[in-house]
Structure 1
């Protein structure tokens, strides 16, 4: 089998139905651990996207490359078809993957996906993302993460620090490339696309965030019809960390339906 181009965190039952999990910007595959522990009967493959975690950081960072990387992970693990779960920017990648290779996707799950966002907003966010983000110690990094992750349980903030913080260039930094982050905001400003018809899709918008527009949801309804399920979650953007049991329950019901 070919070698996987990305670092992959394996969890769950190796004999279970495969699930490819794609995180958002600044994230990593191990961030899905609460979901993998809540649904251990599944065969989870949580990747570190290019530019993140322990995967290669070198460009290109466009959506097409992320899709190619994800498909290569499936090939490397001998998986013909899988459920694909994407959060935030990972939701955009998952949508493009399903359009590019629908035969590889059994079901699609989009957790507050970030797709087709306002270009002016993305310009501002990208400019803000260019600034160095470093901390003098682990405690300062943890405090900043806890502030930005309002609603996420403290033990999951601790887990993020343990898994994703490192000493680099004389300071404590999260394990991702800022250049890849800036590029990702640009990719999220590309014209919105919807999942292809005929592919069962579950979308969970976070009511406390503003990534998912009603216009895009309506386009999804038009394209997918009865294959679309939309279940809003009363949370912030990190919905699967804030409301793990609820998100896992809805995911279980969708996969069993």
Structure 2
């Protein structure tokens, strides 16, 4: 029995792909991308601990996230699977491949947030001590459009239906645990873990964001050699919103 809420998209007999969302997100964020870009795949997308409708109980460190994800694979009877992770989900994917390399057949890192400068992550982590609250749903919607400037109105509505929650005092917030987020930003400041040297890895770097550190790219190139496929896209951090077609084509060909 896994403590994570699980979403699955696509045909039950499709080629399985584990998809891990980023910090403050949820597994249902992959719904449209799976339907439009990976129609032949069975996309397995949990809400990570402290997110969505999964348990919010600690611990929240990377080791626990890896254990949770392995529990999902075990519950579905999946011995080995391609793994795609965005942002913090990319960091978790790296630690999954490092801890249990026999469970990951191919690795897709979508603008992973790993090995980040500690000074920057400290500032963001401290901001989570006073999480954002909104007086109206209209404010939530405006904030989401600001975070996702390339998103259509219907995509924003879909996101908020999954990830916005109204509290007892009538105010609104996003459906994630701020204490978990503080730990997550600390974990993203840890030295980056590299994929196993023999693991085929697709690294997508968003050029309008600063999450993928140049030294991480260089380390992957040295460590993986021809096992690494590196692509840079002229877009923001939420690549599956900004460039879904380009990302979908790369992922579909790779996995």
TM-score scaled by structure 2? 0.97
The CA deviation string for residues 144-179 of structure 1, in whole angstroms up to 9 with x for no partner, is 111122222332111111111111232211111011
Q: Distance in 2 between matches of 1:132 and 1:253?
A: 39
Q: Judge conservation of contact 1:91–1:110 (CA < 8 Å) in 2.
A: yes
Superposed structure 1 runs of 4+ greater than 3 Å apart: none
Q: Which deviations, in whole Å up to 9, do the C-alpha atoms of 1:169-222 show, x marking residues without a partner?
A: 322111110111111000000111111111100000101000112211111011
Conservation of the 8 A alpha-carbon contact between 2:148 and 2:241: no
Number of the residue aligned with 2:3: 5
Tell me the residue number matched to 1:181. 181
1:210 paired to 2:210? yes
1:95-118 CA-to-partner distances (Å, cap 9, x unmatched) read 010011111011100000000100
In the alignment, is residue 131 of structure 1 matched against residue 113 of structure 2?
no
> Does 2:14 align with 1:16?
yes
**Displacement of 1:67 after TM fit?**
0.4
Show CA shifts across 1:54-107 (max 9, x none): 000011010000000001000001111111010000000000100111110111
Name 1:238's counterpart in structure 2. 238
Q: Given that residues 125 and 182 in structure 2 are in contact (C-alpha distance below 8 angstroms), is that contact kept between their aligned partners in structure 1?
A: yes
- Residue deviations 1:102-146 (CA, integer Å, cap 9, x gap): 110111000000001000111111111211311122111010111
Residue in 1 aligned with 2:149?
A: 150
1:13–1:41 Cα contact (<8 Å) kept: yes
In structure 1, what is the equivalent of residue 112 of structure 2?
113
- Specify which of 20, 30, 33 is matched with residue 31 of structure 2: 33
Whole-angstrom CA distance in 2 between matches of 1:108 and 1:237: 18
Which stretches in structure 1 are left out of the alignment for 5+ residues? none
- Using the alignment, how far apart are the partners of 1:236 and 1:34 within structure 2? 18
Q: Return the offset for 1:246.
A: 0.9
What is the SS of the residue equivalent to 2:71? helix
Aligned length, in residue pairs: 253
The residue number in structure 1 matching 2:163 is 164
Aligned CA-pair RMSD: 1.0
1:253 is displaced (CA, Å) by: 1.2
Tell me the CA shift for residue 241 of structure 1. Answer: 1.1
Q: What is the DSSP-based 3-state SS (H/G/I as helix, E as strand, rest coil) of the residue aligned with 2:105?
A: strand
* Structure 2 residue matching 1:19: 3-state secondary structure: strand
CA distance in 2, matches of 1:152, 1:238: 10
- 2:63 maps to which residue? 64
Contact 1:152-1:238 at 8 Å conserved across structures: no
CA contact (8 A) 1:34 1:241 kept: no
Partner of 2:96: 97
User: What TM-score comes out, normalization by structure 1 length?
Assistant: 0.96
